[in-house]
Structure 1
Amino acid sequence: MSAVLNVLRPCVDSVRLGRLAVDSLHAELAVAPKPGLVTPFDPGSHDDMDAGTFLRSLFALRHYFRDIALAGADDAPFPALRTLGIQAEAAMLRATGGINTHRGAIFSLGLLVAAAARCRSMGLPVSGEQVCLGVRHWSPELLAAPLDPHSPGQRVRARHGIAGVRQQAAAGYPMLRTLALPTLREALAAGLPREAALCHTLMALVAKLDDINLLHRGGAEGLHWARTQAATFMADGGAFAAGWRPRLQQLGEAFVARRLSPGGSADLLACSVFLLQQEAA
């Protein structure tokens, strides 16, 4: 019987991790206000997508996160994970009519799901920080994988000389380990409601991250403006301050007026939610 359970456990864990990944993306979508980003109430700075577009994408991706968890539990090489990611991106684009809703999450959250499953299968620690570091297992192959030099993200990264999501992953996601996870943990431990804690963490990320989405939409000036506004919000207490919600809504109007959307920060917020949830799974 124990042998049967040992065979079944990775499959059960992978299904659970896949569900948590989808749940974390849904949690990020549901949070409001989020300056410039899609919420259930408005499309933010986007004129080609709304909450319905995101929900169609999430439905299309539900099997991907389970499958990449299974691959991680089997200690699959990076090319196998990459193939799953390419297939997931194609499914997303079919579901959304060619609109990119979750490309960044397919990459980063997918790798974290695989790392969480691998940690479990090998009896390694599963704290959020350790799972981030676990992604470094695939670093050599990850960094050697071919790039599309014509993609918007790669063009922006090359133009501004900043590290992209591939470099973040190869380094074990330092922004998650040193900023997002501690900020979210502390906000929840201090008694902030979940939505407020997520808004607080998002703005902490916007203040510090070289967000490629912001660079793509607003250039260096747009990124600097967004980071300055987020840093001011955090310095004034963030979501711990009285009246934080109308202040963040007002800031969101300014983001929309500039057509700015911190999509990279939103991806890491969803990753943070997943990393905390999987600790108890």
Structure 2
Amino acid sequence: MNVALRWKSSPESEHRAEQLGHLASLCLKLEVETYPKPGLVSHVDNGAHGDMDAELLCRSADTLTSFFRDLAIAGAEGAGMNRLRAVGVAAERAMLTATCGVNTHRGAIFGLGLLCAAAGYRNAVGIRKPLGRLVSERWGEDILSGPVSLRSHGAVVSRRYGAGGARAEAAQGFPSVYDIALPALHAARKLAAHDEEAARIQTCMTLIADVTDTNLLHRGGPEGLRFAQASASAFLAAGGVGSLGWRGRAVDIHQAFVARNLSPGGSADLLAMALFVDRLEA
């Protein structure tokens, strides 16, 4: 896509990039402040994670704010994937320093980072395309052909089970965000009388039910993934957050995930991405 960029280094443009960085960080914190989410860390408990808590995740989100801003600036300046990847590597290094080596947000750095870059680009050229489509058009081929960390959980699961994972999701324009999470979020707001936490829970359950979450495959294999998807599907089939006693059922599912050491981290990242896109494309 050869579009003449109109980015100018000005207080206004820098402010817009700062806003995008803070919004991305906020969306990560909103995911943390959602309970109950099956197996995931929240402000209430640590879920199936013995090495992290809500305070650590929020510290990580704050650390990443400036890097999300830098990715928005890079996108606005027409950067290719190599530059975006360099910012992402620096963000991951800062995250690991802030968390004493705990991988809190590696997946979010990748997914939210690309969406920040797309938002920066969109602001610069003044177009109205969905952010996911811009990611696919501008960087999709490079995402798929770029280097792969052979030791990452996603790479291991992809080789073992043939799951596409985060790279395929991004290269295709984040279909799980646009086709699953956003429709669920918008419907849930009506179902839950605009209770935003309940809407986030419903969206998370929908993602768990419908997405092949590589984190679940890593922790529980195909059996763990099937259990997670069946549990979330049953919750939704019973009326989700629109039914009486839904919160108790959601807590029961959360505890069942914890007992099996299951954590749908991919769905958590997609929830944060959906919140980000929702704010920008509403």
Equivalent residue number for residue 163 of structure 1: 164
Equivalent residue number for residue 188 of structure 1: 189
Q: Is the 8 A contact 1:10 1:73 kept in 2?
A: no
For residues 30-41 of structure 1, what are the structure 2 equivalents within 5 Å? 30-41=33-44
Aligned counterpart in structure 2 of residue 261 of structure 1, from 260, 263, 280? 263
Equivalent residue number for residue 178 of structure 1: 179
Equivalent residue number for residue 240 of structure 1: 242
Q: Is the 8 A contact 2:7 2:76 kept in 1?
A: no
> CA-to-partner distance for each residue in 1:128-163, whole Å, 9 max, x for gaps?
xx1111111111221121111122220111100110
> Unaligned regions of 5+ residues in structure 2, if any?
1-5
Equivalent residue number for residue 133 of structure 2: 133
Equivalent residue number for residue 201 of structure 1: 203
Instruction: Quote the Cα distance in structure 2 between the aligned partners of 1:4 and 1:74.
Output: 6
> CA-to-partner distance for each residue in 1:177-208, whole Å, 9 max, x for gaps?
11101111222245330000000000000001
| Residue 52 of structure 1: how far off its partner (Å) | 1.6
> CA-to-partner distance for each residue in 1:209-258, whole Å, 9 max, x for gaps?
11011001000100010001101111111111111111100111100100
Instruction: Quote the Cα distance in structure 2 between the aligned partners of 1:132 and 1:237.
Output: 30
Q: Is the 8 A contact 2:209 2:229 kept in 1?
A: yes
Question: 1:42 and 2:52 equivalent?
Answer: no
Structure-2 change in CA distance of 1:38 and 1:82 (3 Å): same
| Residue 42 of structure 1: how far off its partner (Å) | 0.6
Instruction: Quote the Cα distance in structure 2 between the aligned partners of 1:4 and 1:221.
Output: 49
Q: TM-score, normalised by structure 1?
A: 0.94
Equivalent residue number for residue 77 of structure 1: 80
Query: How many aligned positions are there?
Result: 275
- Give the percent of matched residue pairs that are identical in Structure 1 and Structure 2: 45
Structure-2 change in CA distance of 1:85 and 1:39 (3 Å): same
Q: Is the 8 A contact 2:153 2:215 kept in 1?
A: no
| SS in structure 2 of the partner of residue 271 of structure 1 | helix
Q: Is the 8 A contact 2:80 2:139 kept in 1?
A: yes
Q: TM-score, normalised by structure 2?
A: 0.94
Equivalent residue number for residue 3 of structure 2: none
Structure-2 change in CA distance of 1:172 and 1:246 (3 Å): same
Q: Over aligned residue pairs, what C-alpha RMSD do you find?
A: 1.6
Instruction: Quote the Cα distance in structure 2 between the aligned partners of 1:278 and 1:9.
Output: 17
After superposing the two structures, state which structure 1 stretch, 29-38 or 186-195, moved more.
186-195
Instruction: Quote the Cα distance in structure 1 between the aligned partners of 2:8 and 2:124.
Output: 13
Aligned counterpart in structure 1 of residue 229 of structure 2, from 217, 227, 240? 227
Which runs of 4 or more aligned residues in structure 1 lie more than 6 Å from their structure 2 counterparts after TM superposition?
A: 3-6
| Residue 176 of structure 1: how far off its partner (Å) | 0.8
> Unaligned regions of 5+ residues in structure 1, if any?
none
